[in-house]
Amino acid sequence: MTDTLTTVTPRGTDRHAAARDHLWGHFTRQSAWAEQVPTIVRGEGHHIWDDRGRKYIDGLAGLFVVQAGHGRAELAERARQQAEELAFFPLWSYAHPQAIDLAERLAHHAPGDLNRVFFTTGGGEAVETAWKLAKQYWKLVGKPGKHKVISRAVAYHGTTQGALSITGIPALKAPFEPLVPSTQRVPNTNRYRAPEDLRDDPEAFGRWAADRIAEAIEFEGPETVAAVFLEPVQNAGGCFPPPPGYFQRVREICDRYDVLLVSDEVICAFGRIGEIFACSDFGYVPDMITCAKGLTSGYSPIGATVVSDRVYEPFRTGDATFYHGYTFGGHPVSAAVAMANLDIFEREGLTQRVHENAPLFRAELESLLDLPIVGDVRGAGYFYGIELVKDTATRETFSEAESERLLRDFLSPALFEAGLYCRADDRGDPVVQLAPPLTCGPAEFAEIGQILRGVLGEAWARL
């Protein structure tokens, strides 16, 4: 523990000063590091510790990643063993046993005819892969005009130029425009903000939202649309679950217009909703699945695009080649850790645990609806968002300036100070997001709920 809490770098510099001078935080307002840089040094189970020795509940599983919890020695040991045996070899014209075994295992879990796995090192790369693959697929089958993508408003799909183009959050895109053209947005499944006549009829709302996809395909021209990218539960904006029948309707629409359906499960796969792949939770079979994060529970980076036999078919024989790849895609160490992680899933019944405990997690969070600042609680499995409002009767939200003061100036530091690491998010209306490790249960839910109640109550008092 003493070594872990060392406050100087190997060069003898104060760590916080070194962070301010040299480290560039991801999605971080660097001015927030002017005084102190929050520094996490250790994790065990569902807890993390900072360099002051303070303990926190990891209410976000790192970043929707640490499904099996922190401090899993067997995953670290498996990485060490594999590094000694074969530390690296690419999948460029060659294979290695770890990638073969993991591809087979993922195909076994995937629904329908999704039997082919293309490995990446992360989720954005998996999304980029899916779009490029869709474009080339349509060229190979004689429909070269099909290149456009449809996705949903406020949805986040990654940071590469292609994945960011598919993303539906204008503020994240603006600094990097012009981006890749040919992407269109449709409404998401936020029933709390749905048209008033549809709020009380989830099935009607689901059909309305799905039909907007058909409308967009018609507007763009079916001969130009390659794919629809959808998360099973949309992350950005605060965990929008699909209404009943939504994905079945989307599947019908994609089949009717000959458009590929991509299930972006970078967050939702590997038990976050319940099953290994969340499309199975909601009863639909896509043409491709993109995944990453929870595949190794964060112990080593890896991602994947899982592809149907139909999409793979043009590449199966002849000289057709998918000229796309990543040096570290399907890395032997990461693939070995992923196999060990999935062993934990099976041995400890983590997916079943989520199914059993998810109603208890929902009930704990829904108990916060009696607070005047809580407008909506929504999500599925171990993945929830709490939308904050100024008036629960009218659903009035906060202005941009008010949201800034609420989330950045108070909620984020106050929740952390109270012992809960989670996400106070303003991509859309202000929300607090929660996605704890799948090893958590009722006791941890109650602790999370108690912290939220205290801090959200204080936030309302300050308003």
pLDDT confidence of residue 1: 41
Q: Within the chain, which residues score under 70 in pLDDT? A: 1-6
CATH of domain 75-348: 3.40.640.10
* Residue range 38-71+350-462, CATH number: 3.90.1150.10
Report the residue count for the chain. Answer: 463
Tell me: the pLDDT tens digits for 423-441? 998 778 899 999 999 999 9
Q: What is the pLDDT of residue 330?
A: 98
Domains in the chain: boundaries: 38-71+350-462, 75-348
> Which helix (DSSP H) or strand (DSSP E) does residue 49 occupy?
strand 47-50
Q: Is the dihedral of CA 311, 316, 317, 319 positive or negative?
A: positive
Cα distances from 198 to residues 261, 270, 378, in angstroms, run 25, 32, 17
Asked if residue 432 lies in contact with residue 388, where contact means CB atoms within 8 angstroms, the answer is yes
What are the pLDDT digits (tens) for 363-376? 999 999 999 999 99
Q: Note the pLDDT of residue 5.
A: 59
- Element containing residue 44 per DSSP (H, E): strand 40-44
